[in-house]
Amino acid sequence: MATIFHVTDLHLRQALPGHAGHLHRLSRRMPALLDALSGRIAAVAPDLVAVTGDLLDVPHALLDGEPGHDLRAITQAALADYLLVRRWLDSLGRPWMVLPGNHDHGPAFDVVFGSEPVTRPCGHLTIHAFHDWEQAGNQALRIGPSRRHFEQAIAASGVETDEVHLQHFLVRPHVDYHYPLLYGDADDIARRVADAPGRRLLLSGHWHEGTPMVQVGNALMGACPAFCEPPHRFRVFRIDPGGPIAMEEDALGASFTAAKQLTIVDRPGLLTLPPADGAAPRLVPRSDMARIIAGLAAQGHVAIASPWHAPETGTATWRGLQYAHDAFFQALGSDAGQADALSLYLPPGAQPGRRLPAEPISREPDLVPRLAALFGMAPAAVTLLTLDPARRAAGIAAGAACPDLSDGMPDIDAILAAAGR
Ligand SMILES: [Fe+2]
Ligand SMILES: [Fe+2]
């Protein structure tokens, strides 16, 4: 029997600045959660650890080649984070295979992982890893070397073939969503593996909710839920030669270890300066912002809340909003941006910029309840620091401590004292 430990969509950022734009993609928590996962992997003692893409959450500015950003620094940080993932994989003491997803940066990924084989034996199995990329319209296609690799694998198959295909995007089942999740040529891939002699197991990531495994002809396929999101799920497959394939899904559970309190800092005024009139979407950090975050982090967990419809980001699209926040965290330097989470949110009734993220974006009244739940805390253990009277009222209604900071822009001592309660 061969055992495969499948984990996907880490969306890690450690050297990379800031946070994924989605609240539940806990990029900065990933190193600690991967450490915790090591123990679970050791207990399973798999024959292979497979990570199917989105290893990092590379800022969109680099993925898009957006001018006006320090892309060289982001690339260096991505390299450092790929090395972190590689050191973690090597530390497991088990064979492993990885492949890139749409949030990975191909050149940096290749520097760290490019020399790894894309086919390897695993007990009685053969494992193939397919490096595929999104093309026009965010639609992934299996083309070029990846397609040739796939064609060779299919052509070489016989009744004895028992293999596993690892890829980022979905082949089946269909998932109805406004962003393409399946390969543009998924019908062709599905038909080929369904009809080919032997047996195939296709393991995908990308769709963070995951899917059930579905049988299509001679192949079993589906997507594992994203490890970066609570409750941090993974799957273990046990494959008997000529026998059944058993799947078990498990999860690490809590994202954060208990701290006495959670401080939510509402960005405007407390972390950034008022916007200049007519400026492009841009966040200007206060000069003492890094010290404010460090001071709050000494008291417990810290989450940054940032309103989308503030004057400085009000016209930004969802992607522009992420550019602005990534640049803001990057400007802080490598020692800052160490808040535990970032919650982008809208006031009640406000319309979001052009495209919504996959998860519902927080609204003002949800700020305290959603973050308290994420950190496994009662709202009474939450302190919300905000200069906005309506947000303060919403925080009080949710049960959080909300000190009155309404007298202008408080200095660092006043902010830390207010959080210390
Ligand atoms: Fe992902
Ligand atoms: Fe993805």
- Which residue pairs from 368-373 have beta carbons closer than 8 angstroms and sit at least 24 positions apart in sequence? 368/264, 368/394, 368/395, 368/398, 368/399, 368/400, 369/398, 370/23, 370/343, 371/23, 371/262, 371/264, 371/303, 371/305, 371/341, 371/343, 372/262, 372/398, 372/400
* Per-residue pLDDT, 58: 98
Question: What is the pLDDT averaged over residues 294-317?
Answer: 90
What's the 55 CA to ligand 2 centre distance in angstroms? 9
Query: Tokens standing for 94?
Result: 């088990």
* Per-residue pLDDT, 409: 85
- The 10s digit of each residue's pLDDT in 227-262 is 999 999 999 999 999 889 999 999 999 999 877 899
Query: Tokens standing for 277?
Result: 């009139």
Q: Does 329 score more than 70 pLDDT?
A: yes
Question: What is the pLDDT averaged over residues 98-115?
Answer: 96
Asked whether the beta carbons of 33 and 7 are under 8 A apart, the reply is no
* Per-residue pLDDT, 336: 60
Question: What is the pLDDT averaged over residues 210-226?
Answer: 98
- The 10s digit of each residue's pLDDT in 374-392 is 999 999 999 999 999 999 9
* Per-residue pLDDT, 372: 96
- The 10s digit of each residue's pLDDT in 334-356 is 666 689 999 999 888 887 766 66
Asked whether the beta carbons of 101 and 57 are under 8 A apart, the reply is no
What distances in angstroms separate CA 207 from CA 105, 249, 319, one per listed residue? 19, 16, 19
What's the 168 CA to ligand 2 centre distance in angstroms? 7
Asked whether the beta carbons of 306 and 327 are under 8 A apart, the reply is no
Q: Does 322 score more than 70 pLDDT?
A: yes
Q: Does 293 score more than 90 pLDDT?
A: yes
Q: Does 418 score more than 80 pLDDT?
A: yes
Question: What is the pLDDT averaged over residues 294-314?
Answer: 91
- The 10s digit of each residue's pLDDT in 42-52 is 999 999 999 99
Ligand lying nearest the CA atom of residue 140: 2
Q: How far apart are CA 164 and CA 126, in angstroms?
A: 6
Q: How far apart are CA 368 and CA 387, in angstroms?
A: 15
Ion ligand 2: residues, Cβ under 5 Å: 54, 101-102, 206
* Structural domains of the chain in order of their starting residue, each with its CATH number: 2-251 (3.60.21.10), 262-420 (3.40.50.1000)
Ligand lying nearest the CA atom of residue 101: 2
Question: What is the pLDDT averaged over residues 389-398?
Answer: 95
Residues in the chain: 421
pLDDT > 90 fraction of the chain, expressed in percent and rounded: 81
Q: Does 314 score more than 90 pLDDT?
A: no
What's the 148 CA to ligand 2 centre distance in angstroms? 22
What distances in angstroms separate CA 254 from CA 23, 230, 231, 374, one per listed residue? 15, 7, 6, 9
What's the 313 CA to ligand 1 centre distance in angstroms? 25
What's the 273 CA to ligand 2 centre distance in angstroms? 34
Written as one string, the DSSP assignment of 312-375 is TTTT--HHHHHHHHHHHHHHT-TT----SEEEEEE-TTPPPSSS--SSPPEEGGGHHHHHHHHT
The β-bridge partners of 237 are 4, 247
* Per-residue pLDDT, 217: 97
* Per-residue pLDDT, 358: 65
Question: What is the pLDDT averaged over residues 69-94?
Answer: 97
What's the 298 CA to ligand 1 centre distance in angstroms? 31
**pTM (two decimals):** 0.96
* Per-residue pLDDT, 118: 93
Query: Tokens standing for 279?
Result: 């400026």
What's the 193 CA to ligand 1 centre distance in angstroms? 24
When pLDDT is cut at 50, 70 and 90, the band that residue 312 belongs to is confident
When pLDDT is cut at 50, 70 and 90, the band that residue 311 belongs to is confident
- The 10s digit of each residue's pLDDT in 122-171 is 999 999 999 999 999 899 999 999 999 999 999 999 999 999 999 999 99
